[in-house]
Structure 1
Amino acid sequence: MSRRRHVAPGDGPRSAEVNAPADAAPAGAAPRRRRRRGAIVGGVAGAVVIGAGAVLVLGGFGRGAEPDPAASGPGATATVTRQTLVERSTVKGVLGYGEAVVQGHQGAGGDGGGGGGTVTWLPGVGDVVDRGGVLFKVDEHPTVLLLGSLPMYRDLGVDAEGDDVRQLEENLAALGYTGFTVDAKFTAATAKAVEKWQKDRGLEKTGSVGPADVLVVPGPVRVDALKVRVGAPAAAEILTTTGVDRAISVDLDLADRDLAVEGGAVSVALPGGGSADGVITAVGSPKIVKDESGMPGASDTTVVPVTVTLADGTEADAGSVKVTFVADERPDVLTVPVAALLALAEGGYGVEVVEGGSTRIVAVTTGLFADGNVEVTGDLAEGDVVGMPS
């Protein structure tokens, strides 16, 4: 006996047969057996599910057979729809100012020696430092913030050449210093501009710049936390900074790395309710997060840090959020509700197509499942009516 069953949404194939109700004989009359309407599928007389709710119909053609109104068709229907089907994945994130970056000392007293000295001044947590601002002081020597992409990795003076020279000259020009050409050559004119800059900052006029004098970052920073106090030895970790714009930090499992593409759109469920649109602005390198739970069998995990920026004008408090990424997308496909699927005894899936007063089982190939619908291909067309559980 062949058997077909409806698939419950989100549960995969499962049995959902409902036995057809037995007919009761009139009161006082001798009971009599009524024959149910038979059906032939694939040229074989036997059992087949007819109607939503997966009603089991028994074959039994013969003289005197009477039609059973209860088995006339599905109790509910749906329409085959053409649409773009989108699968989404939601993960937790934290709304703040983005990933915190450690900033430290690269030498004492401007000698670039790589350590030593005493921290003599620190900014406040939450302070914003822009181009030309002081991030901290060691032995009263300030480390000044410059904007760019190339770290200050060497001393720059007359006759130095390279992209880092151009970057320094671009910053001097942005701060209002003139008298030199912005290019890749550190000339005597560049040195004079550096001396003016140093004089304005109350520093010794050397005409050269080293790693202890400046810190290069992509943009203005916000002081996130202080790692040391004033009076502590200068170290590689003095404070941490973030960006100045509100951002969401998400640690994606390494297996979900493909969900995050810079420039990709996401939706965000905000603290306290409401939602907002966001854009993926940064995807970092994988990092290991140590498990500190102490639970048996616990292990470290590898995650990918992702930064999401909210749309301009979004008002939201800092806190936990849920970020929804697009995991997969199928444009312009035929879909039916998942509940319309029938698990076929011979394997695979089908749907019950309703045509006028009759129905037929059509085998389908399933694709993407999303939002209670499923992509299907087979002998179907947009607008066809299919049976559903009642």
Structure 2
Amino acid sequence: MEPSTPRRRRPGRLRAVAVGGLVLATLALAVVATLGLGGRDGRQPAAARSAPAATAPVTRQTLTRSVTLAGELGYGAPVPLTSLATGTVTWLPRVGATVRRGEELLRADEQPVVLLYGALPMYRPLTVGLQGTDVRQFERNLAALGYRGFTVDDAFSASTTTAVKRWQHDLGLPETGTVDRTRVIYAAGPVRVAQRLVPVGASATGAVLAYTGGTRVVTVSASAGEASWAKKGTRVTITLPTGASVTGQVSTVAAPAAPTAPTAGQGPADAERPGTGNATVQVTVAVADQRKLGQLSYTPVDVRYVAQQRKDVLTVPVDALLALAEGGYGVELAGPGGSRILPVRTGLYADGRVEVQADGLAEGLLVGVPG
């Protein structure tokens, strides 16, 4: 019997085995990618995952997204002051002066026109026998200036006439007992002279001054589309040029004005500071604690308001998020036995953190972050 010879494997079969092994390996990699078990780019196999190089804790907190606008600290928009007095302007207060109740706003033919506080304009002369809200408003001012002997009510009585004569004597006016409508101008409170609109020697009838309130405020300009946050009472944080911060509150929001063409040298709006472009809505912010403003006035400030807020939510650093191959995001949960990928639902992004939700996610767990 002839010795048997070994059987040779045909080359074609070897190639088939090699090709089959390659197909299985490719399918295995595809399954890993489909399950989203890769690294931060979705390509590292999950079976080889070890503890991440660096971790950060999952925290429970209030997440707030704020927007900062450009503002101006000053005294608000000037308002023209119209005098009804006849004759010639013989004196005007200096620009920047504050005029209070009972003090002179101007002199016409060397007779004073004084400031009183109230909402009603001086629309008629006041004399004995008249009744009305305007009488009560005047008598309230007379009493605030220290004059006595009459009752503050809607009736201009004989005792009111006596008090008016004393007031006129102190002002150097003829003691008629009748309040001349050209000698009184009403405003809501103390006024600060912003501009002289006429020189001394001009006619005393018409707009002679422009004034603002005596309290510093912040004004913010924003387009109509950016002003939905601005409602009366909205609280904001004002950052001063010194770096100090003070709390403010929206007091008024002007009606949207027609768009204006950009002025020479004006660039497009800054996306990071939405109030810096061509603006159409004027927002006024009141500052209750004027002492914190120091001596500052007519200076740029930053105004920050809360655009979105989520209370008591779980958050992780934004760079802890992993893009999953099947879409969406996950985080790498680190534990004693290694790590695993947990898909999460994201919410609000703010201050470098993001709101996340997932079954099995809890405060204090560690998630992987770039080392």
User: TM exceeds 0.5?
Assistant: yes
Quote how far apart the aligned CAs of 1:241 are.
1.8
Gap regions ≥5 residues in structure 2: 1-21, 269-276
Structure 1 counterpart of 2:248: 279
Answer yes or no: is the 8 Å Cα contact 1:286–1:305 preserved in 2. Answer: no
Match of 2:314 in 1: 334
1:317 aligns to 2:304 (yes or no)? no
Q: Is the 1:227–1:239 contact (alpha carbons within 8 Å) kept by the matching residues of 2?
A: yes
The code of the aligned residue for 2:91 comes to W
Percent identity, aligned pairs only, is 45
SS of the residue corresponding to residue 54 of structure 1 reads: coil
Report the 3-state secondary structure (helix = DSSP H, G, I; strand = E; otherwise coil) of the residue aligned with 1:207: coil
Give the conservation status (yes or no) of the 8 Å contact 1:247–1:310.
no
Measure the CA separation in 2 of the matches of 1:248 and 1:345.
50
Shift of 1:122: 0.6
Q: How well do the aligned residues superpose, as a CA RMSD in angstroms?
A: 3.3
Q: Give the secondary structure class of the aligned counterpart of 1:232.
A: coil
Indicate which of 186, 194, 200 corresponds to 2:170: 200
Q: CA deviation at 1:86?
A: 1.6
Q: Name 1:62's counterpart in structure 2.
A: none
Work out whether 1:225 is the aligned partner of 2:195.
yes
Asked if 1:74 is matched to 2:52, the reply is yes
Unaligned stretches of 5+ residues in structure 1: 1-32, 60-66, 110-116
Instruction: Check 1:334–1:94 CA distance in 2 against 1; reply closer, same or farther (3 A cut).
Output: same
Rounded to whole Å, the distance in 1 between the matches of 2:158 and 2:328 is 79
User: Does 300-309 or 47-56 show the bigger shift?
Assistant: 47-56
Normalized against structure 2, the TM-score is what? 0.78
| C-alpha contact 2:39 2:45 (8 A) present in aligned 1 | no
The residue that corresponds to 1:13 in the other structure is none
| Closer, same or farther: CA 221–297 of 1 in aligned 2, 3 Å | closer
Q: Which residue does the alignment assign to 2:344?
A: 364
What is aligned with 1:108? 85
2:272 alignment counterpart: none
Q: Higher mean Cα deviation, 352-361 or 171-180?
A: 352-361
Q: Is the 8 A contact 1:246 1:310 kept in 2?
A: no
- Aligned pair in 2 of structure 1 residues 39, 360: CA closer, same or farther (>3 Å)? farther
Alpha-carbon distance in structure 2 between the residues aligned to 1:52 and 1:72:
11
Find the partner of 1:268 among 238, 249, 264.
Answer: 238
Q: CA deviation at 1:287?
A: 4.8
Asked whether the 8 Å contact 1:120–1:137 carries over to 2, the reply is yes
Please state how far the C-alpha of 1:171 moved relative to its aligned partner.
0.5
AA aligned opposite 1:97: Y
Closer/same/farther in 2, CA of residues 226 and 360 from structure 1, 3 Å limit: same
Amino acid at match of 1:348: G
Q: Does 1:93 align with 2:80?
A: no
Q: Are 2:37 and 1:57 equivalent residues in the alignment?
A: no
**In the TM superposition, what is the alpha-carbon distance from 1:123 to its structure 2 partner?**
0.5
Of structures 1 and 2, the larger Rg is shown by 2
* 1:277–1:296 distance in 2 versus 1, CA, 3 Å: closer
For residues 347 and 188 of structure 1, what CA distance do their matches in structure 2 show? 87
Identify the structure with the greater helix proportion. Answer: 2
Change (3 A) 1:81 1:290: same
Tell me which amino acid in the other structure corresponds to 2:78. A
Distance across 1 between alignment mates of 2:329 and 2:127: 75
Matched, 1:175 2:145: yes
Task: State the 1:121 CA deviation.
Answer: 1.6
**1:96–1:248 CA contact under 8 A, matched in 2:** yes
* 2:153 alignment partner, SS class: coil
Deviation (angstroms), 1:240: 1.9
1:285 partner letter: A
1:175 Cα deviation after fit:
0.8
How many residues get paired? 335
